[in-house]
Structure 1
């Protein structure tokens, strides 16, 4: 990569993250003022739609300026599917934002300290996002939201993964699915870059544009055995996200050839 291209990528990274920070920083007070006198249910729906619109415009702008090449259209098929649990792999910090940018009635589970943050958490709190302070609260609030017709977004890994890997799945989605009887729609997020994945420093610029595709997978019915359900779900993700066998063989052949004198 030439020094000029590297400097360009660093500038793009800075401006992209700055734009997202400013949108989140000033968006919450704006939403609070606009929805101050609305009834709770009306305010929550309004805030969720506004968040979806804001993220959609943000990613549309990045796509226009060739920062991201995004293919998110499959998510549009889920609009109107009420009471649905959405699970996705977690390769980067943008994952939840990408999904929310297409689906206006999604509720997420967020870190409790982020929701309590005055600057960044108030908008998410108005949207009814669920704090991860206790598993009992998560399951109860998730069940209430699903009963009211919301779509619940979960990342079963619980944290971002490193490129090409899947972390062990947590049992939360199994507990919620068994409690509510709601179907689980799998979502796959695929990228040609490890940008903002686990271990990727904020200051490290990728080679833009970053290509991201989000596709839908199988829809699972919840079972009576949560542990078995989680094991089947993880196995399915590992199969779907495994590199093609031909690519694996080519990589092995390349390593073998490189090791020869």
Structure 2
């Protein structure tokens, strides 16, 4: 990476945190005092995602969007190889959606209240009754019309390759009764792998699969369905992101 690109990337990284809080503040003001409309307020997180991508010279190419009904509710599931999965999807994915986020993030001043007001769905990832209750609440929100994106791996992959899926996403889909759409995030690991301090310019390739109906499934099917989702996402990935055993 050239010195000029390094400086630009450093500026983008340093600006990301204050930008996040600035856009959080604007979201809150808009929702509390101005338009008071959750859908219209998505302009702010969309602009936030695009701005970070543009500052880092990251382009986004999306294919397969024709599989989606613009008016339908979906659960999107994808691999998680980089922070740029979040920036790219938030900034450029054309279907309205909300995030599912761990409840601890909602405790962050300004950022947390903005997330809640913007429709982000909290989830308790601990064991026990609280986790079961939060899963039921999330399923109800999805049933009521909120599409969501979930990373079933639970964390970013260190080497960029797809890791095993946890069954929570499959269970949430079955409980909500909403079709699941696999999404492959390609080349984000090359832009900014886990542990990297600076991003590199590049292009993110989002590949969208066909919706998968869950109406005939029960909670007893969650593990088998989770394994199917894993294979569906793997089929949308470049060789460098697939598990070594599935390279073509």
What band does the TM-score fall into relative to the shorter chain?
0.7 to 0.9
Cα gap change, 1:35 to 1:201, in 2 (>3 Å): same
TM-score of the superposition, structure 1-length normalised?
0.76
| 1:193, distance to aligned residue in structure 2 (A) | 4.6
Cα gap change, 1:103 to 1:127, in 2 (>3 Å): farther
Which whole-Å deviations, capped at 9, do the CAs of 1:26-45 have from their partners, x for residues lacking one? 12222222221479xx5322
Supply the distance in 1 between the matched residues of 2:20 and 2:203 (Cα, whole angstroms): 24
1:46 counterpart residue number: 40
Cα gap change, 1:69 to 1:48, in 2 (>3 Å): closer
2:121 counterpart residue number: 130
1:207-226 matches, within 5 Å, as 208-222=200-214, 223-224=217-218, 225-226=221-222
1:162 counterpart residue number: 158
Which whole-Å deviations, capped at 9, do the CAs of 1:132-191 have from their partners, x for residues lacking one? 324324422322222222211111111111334211101111111111221100111100
Supply the distance in 2 between the matched residues of 1:8 and 1:193 (Cα, whole angstroms): 21
Supply the distance in 1 between the matched residues of 2:235 and 2:157 (Cα, whole angstroms): 16
Q: Greater shift after overlay, 216-225 or 151-160?
A: 216-225
Which whole-Å deviations, capped at 9, do the CAs of 1:194-246 have from their partners, x for residues lacking one? 33333x232xx45x4222111112322223311110111112333443629xx
SS in 1 for 2:193: coil
1:92 counterpart residue number: 82
Supply the distance in 2 between the matched residues of 1:187 and 1:8 (Cα, whole angstroms): 33
Cα gap change, 1:31 to 1:81, in 2 (>3 Å): same
| 1:67, distance to aligned residue in structure 2 (A) | 1.7
Cα gap change, 1:79 to 1:97, in 2 (>3 Å): farther
Structure 2 unaligned spans of 5+:
126-130
Cα gap change, 1:234 to 1:194, in 2 (>3 Å): same
Answer with 1 or 2: which has the greater Rg.
Answer: 1
Structure 1 vs Structure 2 CA RMSD = 2.8
Which whole-Å deviations, capped at 9, do the CAs of 1:6-28 have from their partners, x for residues lacking one? x2232122111233222211122
TM-score of the superposition, structure 2-length normalised?
0.80
1:26 counterpart residue number: 22
Structure 1 residue 117 corresponds to structure 2 residue 112: no
Supply the distance in 1 between the matched residues of 2:164 and 2:204 (Cα, whole angstroms): 23
Cα gap change, 1:163 to 1:105, in 2 (>3 Å): same
SS in 2 for 1:96: helix
Supply the distance in 1 between the matched residues of 2:167 and 2:140 (Cα, whole angstroms): 19
Residue correspondences, number: 232
